[in-house]
Amino acid sequence: MTEDRPSGQFDFLILGGGVAGLTAARELLRLGQRAAVIEKGADVGGLARTVVRDGFRFDLGGHRFHSHNPAVLRWLRDLLGDDLLTVPRVSRIKLNGRYIPYPITLPTAITAFSPLQGVQAAASYFLARFSEQKRPDRSFEDWVIRRFGRAMYGRFFQPYTEKVWGIPGRELSADWAAQRIGLPGVWPAIRHSLRPAAQPPATAVSRFYYPRAGFGMIPQALADDIRARGGTILTGTTPTRITAVPGGFEVTLRGPSGTQTWCAAELIATIPLGALLRLLASDSGGEAASRRFRLNYRGLICVFLALDRERVSGDSWTYFPEPEFIFGRTHEPKNWSLDMVPDGRCTSLGVEIFANPDEPVWSWPEAQIVDAVVSQLARIGWLSPEEVRDHWLLRLPHAYPIYDLGYGERLAQARQFLAQWPRLHLLGRTGSFRYMNSDGVIEDVFRFLDARFPAMEMAVPSLPEEDGRWA
C-alpha cells in the first residue's frame, strides 16, 4: 500500500520499514513527533515479513522472540495481546549421520562421535590449555581453539559457521564468537550442563514467543498503529538522494507518484550502511566513503515448500553443517503455530541457503534450486518429491552483517564520517551493522529515544544501559 502526502516538513524521516524503522516511527508518534517511513519494498516488515501463499504462511528464515527484559516483553504483549504464543524450542543439528540437540551441550556432544574422536577432542582441549593461551583473540578460529581445542573447533564450530558466512573461520572476527557462543569455554559448559543458569544465553533458551499468524504480525501491528496515529508510510518508494540543508535534510524519493522531495529535521537510517553512504549528495564524499569503509552482508535464499504430509519432524529448527547439503537450516512453521498451514493434514518447510549474489547458486534458476533442495531432503528421508504440493523462492541480498576481520575499524571509520551530521541516526541490525535479535532491535530503538528525549515523559519503557549482548 502506498500513501500519498504533499511534500512537507517532518520531525523525522525513517529510511527502511523493518522492525527497527516501524518501532521508531510508532514510538516517535507516541511522543508527539511527526514521523514518516520510507520503504522501497511493496510491503513493510523487511526480514521480519511473513509471506502468504495459497494458505501457507512462511517467515523469512523463521524468527523467534526471546528477551530477559521485562519492559520489552510488556511492550510486545501490549502490541499483540492474545496473538502472542509461547512455543517450546526443539532444535537439532545433523552430525555424523545423527541428529543431536542444538545448541550443543557436552553430554550430548559426546554421543555424536566415536570414543576415539572423544579422546582426540579431550586431548586437543588439554593441549590448547598449555599451548594456545598466548594465541590472540583475533579471529573466530583463534577464539574457539584457545577455549575448546582444535578438534572441537574442526568438528563442532567450524563447519556450520563457515557455511553460514561463506568465509574461513580465520577470516571471521573473534567478536562473532564472543557474541554468539554463550559459554566461554569447556569448564563453563560443564558447569552449565550440571546446573543451568537462571537466565540462559539468548542462543540457548528452551522456549520463545511467537505471533500466532507469523512473525510478520509484529511489523503489521506496528504499521497499523502508525497509520492510526496519523503517521505516514510510503511503500514501493526508493530514496535516491540525501542532502543536508540548514535545519535538517532533504530526501529525494522515487515512487509510484513520481519523484518528490521530502524534508525532515532528523533522519533515521535502518538501511545498509553502504547504500546510505551512496545516497548522500555527491559533494559530501559519501560515495568514496562507501568504497573506503566497505562493510559486507551475507545473503540468503529462502525456499518455501508446501507439503502433502502431516509433519516432517518435531523440530523448531534443524541445522545442516555438512557441505553435501546446499542448505544450512530448515524450519517447520506448523511446529511454531498451527495457523501457519491451511489445515492439519498438511505441513510446510522453510529452507535456508546461505549465499551471496556473486556465488553461482544465487543465479541458478528457481527450478534448479528447488530440485536440489527436494532431492537432498528426499535422500535423508524427510519427504518424497511427490509430496511437494508447491514451492516459492525469495532472494535476500542483505540478510546478515558479516563480522569479517577489520570490520570493527571500518565500521568505526564509517560512523566517524557520518558523525558530521549529528541529526542522522543509525538504528537496527542493518542500519547500525550489529547482529541483533528482534528484542535487541527494539531495545536499540528505546535507548535512542531515551537519549534523544531525556527531558520528556517517555511513552516507551525505560531500559537499562546496554549490557554488551548486542555490542
| Per-residue confidence band for 151, with pLDDT thresholds at 50, 70 and 90 | confident
* Closest to 36 in 3D by CA, of 230, 282, 177, 249: 230
Does residue 109 register a pLDDT over 80? Answer: no
| Per-residue confidence band for 118, with pLDDT thresholds at 50, 70 and 90 | low
Pairwise CA distance, residues 263 & 244, whole Å: 10
Pairwise CA distance, residues 17 & 24, whole Å: 10
| Per-residue confidence band for 279, with pLDDT thresholds at 50, 70 and 90 | very high
* Whole-number pLDDT of residue 8: 58
Q: Does domain 91-204 have CATH number 1.10.3110?
A: yes
How much is the CA Rg of the chain, to the nearest whole Å?
A: 23
Looking at the chain, how many residues does it have?
A: 471
Question: Cell 504440493 identifies what position?
Answer: 389
3-state DSSP helix/strand/coil % of the chain, to nearest 5: 40, 25, 35
Cis peptide before 107 (omega within 30 of 0): no
Element (H, E) at 427: none
> For all residues of the chain together, what is the average pLDDT?
87
In the chain, what percentage of residues exceed pLDDT 70?
A: 83
Pairwise CA distance, residues 376 & 11, whole Å: 52
Mean pLDDT in residue range 71-83: 94
What cell was used for 242? 540525501
* Whole-number pLDDT of residue 132: 61
Higher pLDDT, 234 or 102: 234
Pairwise CA distance, residues 57 & 122, whole Å: 45
Cβ proximity of 105 and 111 under 8 Å: no
Mean pLDDT in residue range 99-116: 67
- Measured CA to CA in angstroms, residue 306 lies from 38, 57, 296 at distances of 33, 10, 33
Verdict on whether the full-model pTM lies above 0.85: yes
* Closest to 356 in 3D by CA, of 444, 313, 296: 296
Q: How many CB atoms lie within 10 A of CB 94?
A: 18
* Whole-number pLDDT of residue 25: 98
Report pLDDT digits (tens) over 193-238: 445 555 555 445 678 999 999 999 999 999 999 999 999 999 999 9
Cβ proximity of 445 and 329 under 8 Å: no
* Closest to 463 in 3D by CA, of 197, 74, 202: 74
CATH superfamily of 297-401: Protoporphyrinogen oxidase, mitochondrial; domain 2 (3.90.660.20)
Burial class (CB in 10 A: 0-12, 13-18, 19+), 3: middle
Q: Does domain 9-48+69-86+213-295+404-452 have CATH number 3.40.50.2030?
A: no
Higher pLDDT, 471 or 425: 425
DSSP per-residue letters across 143-173? HHHHHH-HHHIIIIIHHHHHHHHSS-GGGBB
Mean pLDDT in residue range 371-378: 98
In the chain, what percentage of residues exceed pLDDT 90?
A: 71
Mean pLDDT in residue range 341-353: 96
Pairwise CA distance, residues 158 & 145, whole Å: 10
Domain residue ranges of the chain, discontinuous segments joined by +: 9-48+69-86+213-295+404-452, 91-204, 297-401
Does residue 41 register a pLDDT over 70? Answer: yes
